Chains A and B, each alone.
Chain A
């Protein structure tokens, strides 16, 4: 099925560093979602974005819905070891069908 272009594929960063990842698409979405998945668990919703240009924060996380409605980014400030996991972006289409990015694997070096 169709996927969003999510980058980077993986990151290995120092604790305390800021992290940035993004997703792009060739088509428009009405809603962008960011999920985090830890090993052995299901994806957990981090941030939901509903309007083009919207910038939303959740603690150390900040995400933006691109003006063109074809992209979104997620920033994590001052990373800590528990930020380790796989981060998925997802666009929501008509019929509530989620289109996922391939994921960004985040590893933090303490």
Chain B
């Protein structure tokens, strides 16, 4: 199975900060990677598919990049509602695998 290594596991930031989360795959994915936001008590929300395509309704401050084995999720100006845990998912080949998650906390 493809292993996904996500970093950092947590980060502290303030409203207005620019943050970047990284996912590294154990083998090449092309652009078959998606990103999700998870808040406590809520269902996960899809943010990005195909490594860089924003899902409908997702604010433009979110962006995704990368291909092959290295991918990034960037929030250009953190808002209060963005404090959550973020996960990458490789959908290149089954079994699909998530990264371990990055918890974005208020500094």
A and B are partners in one complex rather than unrelated chains: no
